[in-house]
DNA sequence: CTGAAAGCGCTAACAC
DNA sequence: GTGTTAGCGCTTTCAG
């Protein structure tokens, strides 16, 4: 990613900041402000060249005689000049900022994806505009407006696909990629996993272990992943010739710990309770485990529990959680790479990428 | 916060986006691009007024005859005009972007603070530039550069104060506030809690419960909070007339679960092991609990455990964690308010604000 | 290799 | 009330 891209990046931006700042001390030609108010024309004057030339050395573009370059560089340091990105952006019409729309930054799953994005974007010196949407279409629209108003060059969206759907029309015209939540047919690039297959494998594993009464704790079906994973669960049951019991399908309100915890009671009250519970997310599964514990049941002795995501916590609980691992960081990295590529080439190349998942067997199932 | 500030905000920016976008359909006067390429002068032409007038209605400034305003507004919608923030920023010299420098966004403690900041900043239509530093001075400097290059109007820093110290000189001149980590004497505004008092109270509670051999699991002392909390711990012991045992002072590598977990072994190997463990963060405490569990010890039966922060997880573990609660969201909100105020008034008013903490008694101690 | 000059889209005096 | 105009600081032809 981004081998040939260095050329696009600015050369002076981040080098020699040390000197630039230190130079303030011997800043003799005191302009009114004296603080970071140095413009390119002052550098030009100081170096005895034109602004065009300063711009050239700034951008390492075209040929500049070595001696001239040295003189300009010296002036830049002497004056403590810092490029004004606002002006540059206006001129070049690119902000080098990327929008990241995430439902909830407090959710470690999303946090890790953001870290992946950040990682991929660092080298290209893009910065991230963090937008927490809570899956709210209104807030998303509002944020997306940052794109319209030229404050960001592109966006990565982790929001539910129902929300994304609403933005369809715009999505086609704007540099926008989806991450985790996506619609293959929507014509916008995405990075995600095969949720259906992953859920199928997880359920199959439970089936293999001899469980035939498996409950499925789902979350908000506005999320594509929730629907797909349900499908996978049903696929597995069907393949095993087992009827899907409506009673075993519970839809938690939310996808956090509390939701999982309170989902347990109903399942336990059934005349024919399940022997295993498959939750669509680790946070949910953790809540389920707690709910089980509250009821005096042991995991996996009395009830097997399977999660989804493999957040750090899954390894830390007691018993540790058997779950489906998603490559969060990679998901973020790939989404970012797709966006960057689109930004570079202008052409949308609307393919998506499906990353591998894996079953992580631990203690809970 | 920000009652009278609405005037500063842009009026057209976020209203009627609906119509603006919908208007694309009947966009007859097709300019080459046709997409978001409408400038203020085109609106002016379409409405038969000057750009100054358009600018006036855009900014709700000065008086504009009602009929004119209506005509301009109509043209804005008809053309699907969106203000170019880049241009506006260059002109007004404010980006309406704020830097948030956080050591680790994957840490739920920081994530919640960021949410608080976001909340406070929304109403003023500032957006957040997320900068994950890992407490690395180099990365921080690099990010801080966004400030120098005019991409952000101010910064909120959650980094260790040793890192902040290095930026001292610049901090005085730039709109910058500290959150959680701060130095009272540094002359930069901050939002935080009284770590020393909080730790003292926590240790005192343990003492009250009859523990006199209390271990203290600390993290990186580059963090002010780590040093302050150690002080508080020592204060409490001193007040109780108990000698501080060096053996009981363990410094974990890092402040995550793994660090806490591995810190336990040494404590248990002591000839005279402690009866209680006080960790400087919940994540650490959770790891400690796990380490204890690994060794077959029960909490609080065999060993009491006390944490710090009160992240969501503290309520969710089993046994639940007794800890010192920090008002994360409020911390973020106040830090943001301080920054915004500084941005509004220009004057630094370098006071800080100390928010209340509280002891949350649960099962682990 | 270097300079002059034309804007990017917007705001803010300053006129009328 | 409204229009004219001068830039904000930068990049980028186009000449030389």
Please report the pLDDT score of residue B166 as a whole number. Answer: 65
Distance (Å) from the C-alpha of residue A288 to the closest C-alpha of chain B? 11
Please report the pLDDT score of residue A140 as a whole number. Answer: 84
A322-331: average pLDDT:
98
Test mutation, A77, A85, A87, A294, chain B, max B CBs within 10 A: A85
As given in the structure block, the two tokens for residue A288 are: 């389920």
Q: Is A318 on the interface with B (CB under 8 A)?
A: yes
Please report the pLDDT score of residue A28 as a whole number. Answer: 31
- Label residue A255 by pLDDT band (50, 70, 90): confident
Q: Does the pLDDT value for residue A145 go beyond 90?
A: no
User: A223 and A174, same structural domain?
Assistant: no
In a domain, B29, yes or no: yes
Domain end marker among A60, A91, A122: A91
In a domain, B354, yes or no: yes
**Strand D footprint nucleotides (protein C-beta < 7 Å):** 1-5, 7-13
Rounded Cα distance between A56 and A44, Å, is 11
Please report the pLDDT score of residue B80 as a whole number. Answer: 93
Please report the pLDDT score of residue B350 as a whole number. Answer: 66
Q: Do A108 and B108 touch (CB under 8 A)?
A: yes
By the 8 A CB rule, do A125 and A96 touch? yes
Q: Is A118 on the interface with B (CB under 8 A)?
A: yes
Q: Is B25 on the interface with A (CB under 8 A)?
A: no
User: B296 and B203, same structural domain?
Assistant: yes
How big is the A-B interface in CB pairs under 8 Å? 136
User: B353 and B320, same structural domain?
Assistant: no
User: A223 and A304, same structural domain?
Assistant: yes
Q: Does the pLDDT value for residue A257 go beyond 50?
A: yes
User: A107 and A74, same structural domain?
Assistant: no
Q: Could you read off the pLDDT of A94-122 as tens digits, one per residue?
A: 999 999 999 999 999 999 999 999 999 98
∠ Cα B151 B156 B158 (to 5°): 130
In a domain, B363, yes or no: no
| CA closest to B107 among chain A residues | A108
In a domain, B364, yes or no: no
Per the structure, the count of domains in chain A is 3
Please report the pLDDT score of residue B171 as a whole number. Answer: 66
In a domain, A363, yes or no: no
A20 touches strand D (CB under 7 A): no
User: A181 and A215, same structural domain?
Assistant: no
Q: Is A103 on the interface with B (CB under 8 A)?
A: no
Phi and psi at A137, nearest 5°, equal: -60, -35
By the 8 A CB rule, do B38 and B79 touch? yes
As given in the structure block, the two tokens for residue B162 are: 């040793």
C1' (C6) to CA (B102) span, angstroms: 43
User: B134 and B67, same structural domain?
Assistant: no
Q: Is B305 on the interface with A (CB under 8 A)?
A: no
User: B333 and B249, same structural domain?
Assistant: no
By the 8 A CB rule, do B204 and B239 touch? yes
Please report the pLDDT score of residue A349 as a whole number. Answer: 65
Please report the pLDDT score of residue A215 as a whole number. Answer: 98
By the 8 A CB rule, do A43 and A75 touch? yes
Mind giving me the DSSP string for B20-81?
Answer: HHHGGGG--S--SS-SS---HHHHHHHHTS-HHHHHHHHHT-S---HHHHHHHHHHHHHHT-
By the 8 A CB rule, do A266 and A242 touch? no
Segment (H or E) for B132: strand B127-132
Nearest to A204 by CA among A289, A286, A276, A302: A276
Q: Do B129 and A130 touch (CB under 8 A)?
A: yes
Q: Could you read off the pLDDT of A58-88 as tens digits, one per residue?
A: 998 778 899 999 999 999 999 999 999 999 9
User: B338 and B265, same structural domain?
Assistant: no
Higher pLDDT, A231 or B61: A231
C1' (D5) to CA (A100) span, angstroms: 40
User: B53 and B33, same structural domain?
Assistant: yes
Tell me the nt nearest to B42, Cα to C1'. C9
User: B262 and B295, same structural domain?
Assistant: yes
Domain end marker among B91, B120, B138: B91
With DSSP H G I counted as helix, E B as strand and the rest as coil, what are the percentages for chain B, rounded to 5? 50, 15, 35
Does this model's pTM top 0.85?
A: yes
Q: Do B97 and A170 touch (CB under 8 A)?
A: no
Residue B51: which CATH number? Answer: 1.10.260.40
Please report the pLDDT score of residue A13 as a whole number. Answer: 38
Q: How many helices (H) and strands (E) does chain A have?
A: 15, 12
In a domain, A1, yes or no: no
A163-170: average pLDDT:
68
B window 165-194, beta carbon within 8 A of A: 169-170, 173
Q: Which range of residues forms the domain containing residue A202? A: 195-326
Please report the pLDDT score of residue A36 as a whole number. Answer: 60
Residues of chain A contacting residue B90, judged by C-beta atoms under 8 Å apart: 84, 86-87, 89-90
Distance (Å) from the C-alpha of residue B242 to the closest C-alpha of chain A? 34
Strands (E), chain A: 97-102, 127-132, 154-157, 176-179, 190-193, 214-218, 249-251, 276-279, 304-309, 322-325, 352-355, 358-360
- Label residue A350 by pLDDT band (50, 70, 90): low
A84 touches strand D (CB under 7 A): yes
Q: Could you read off the pLDDT of B285-323 as tens digits, one per residue?
A: 999 999 999 999 999 999 999 999 999 999 999 899 999
Q: Could you read off the pLDDT of A268-296 as tens digits, one per residue?
A: 999 999 999 999 999 999 999 999 999 99
Q: Does the pLDDT value for residue A166 go beyond 70?
A: no
Q: Is A362 on the interface with B (CB under 8 A)?
A: no
Residue A343: which CATH number? Answer: 3.40.50.2300
Residues of chain B with pLDDT below 70 are 1-36, 162-163, 166-172, 347-350
By the 8 A CB rule, do B349 and B341 touch? yes
In a domain, A141, yes or no: yes
In a domain, A125, yes or no: yes
Q: Does the pLDDT value for residue A27 go beyond 80?
A: no
The CA R_g of chain B, rounded to the nearest whole Å, is 27
User: A138 and A12, same structural domain?
Assistant: yes
Please report the pLDDT score of residue B183 as a whole number. Answer: 87
- Label residue A306 by pLDDT band (50, 70, 90): very high
Q: Does the pLDDT value for residue A258 go beyond 70?
A: yes
């Amino acid at each position: 990613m981004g081998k040939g891209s260095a050329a696009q990046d600015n050369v002076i931006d981040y080098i020699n900041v040390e000197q630039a700042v230190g130079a303030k001390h011997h800043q003799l030609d005191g302009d009114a402000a004296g603080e970071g108010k140095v413009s390119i024309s002052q550098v030009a004057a100081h170096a005895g060249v034109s602004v065009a030339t300063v711009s050239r050395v700034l951008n390492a573009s075209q040929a500049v005689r070595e001696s001239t370059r040295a003189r300009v560089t010296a002036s830049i340091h002497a004056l403590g000049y810092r490029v004004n990105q606002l002006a540059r952006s206006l001129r070049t019409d690119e902000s080098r900022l990327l929008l990241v729309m995430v439902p909830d930054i407090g959710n470690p799953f999303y946090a890790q994806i953001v870290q992946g994005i950040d990682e991929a974007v660092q080298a290209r010196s893009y910065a991230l505009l963090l937008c927490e949407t809570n899956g709210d279409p209104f807030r998303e629209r509002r944020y997306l407006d940052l794109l319209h108003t030229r404050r960001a060059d592109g966006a990565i969206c982790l929001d539910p696909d129902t929300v994304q759907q609403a933005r369809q029309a715009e999505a086609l015209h704007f540099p926008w990629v989806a991450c985790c939540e996506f619609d293959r047919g929507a014509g916008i690039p995405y990075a995600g996993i095969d949720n259906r297959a992953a859920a199928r494998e997880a359920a199959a594993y439970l089936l293999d272990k001899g469980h035939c009464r498996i409950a499925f704790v789902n979350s908000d079906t506005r999320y594509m992943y929730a629907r797909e994973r349900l499908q996978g669960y049903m696929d597995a049951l069907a393949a095993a010739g087992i009827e899907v019991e409506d009673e075993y399908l519970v839809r938690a309100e939310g996808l956090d710990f509390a939701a999982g915890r309170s989902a347990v009671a109903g399942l336990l009250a059934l005349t024919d309770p399940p022997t295993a519970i498959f939750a669509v997310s680790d946070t949910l599964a953790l809540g389920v485990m707690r709910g089980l514990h509250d009821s005096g049941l042991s995991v996996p002795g009395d009830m097997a529990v399977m999660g989804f995501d493999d957040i750090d916590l899954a390894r830390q609980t007691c018993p540790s959680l058997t779950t489906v691992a998603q490559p969060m960081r990679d998901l973020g990295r790939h989404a970012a790479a797709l966006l960057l590529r689109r930004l570079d080439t202008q052409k949308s190349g609307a393919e998506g990428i499906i990353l591998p998942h894996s079953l992580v067997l631990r203690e809970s199932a």
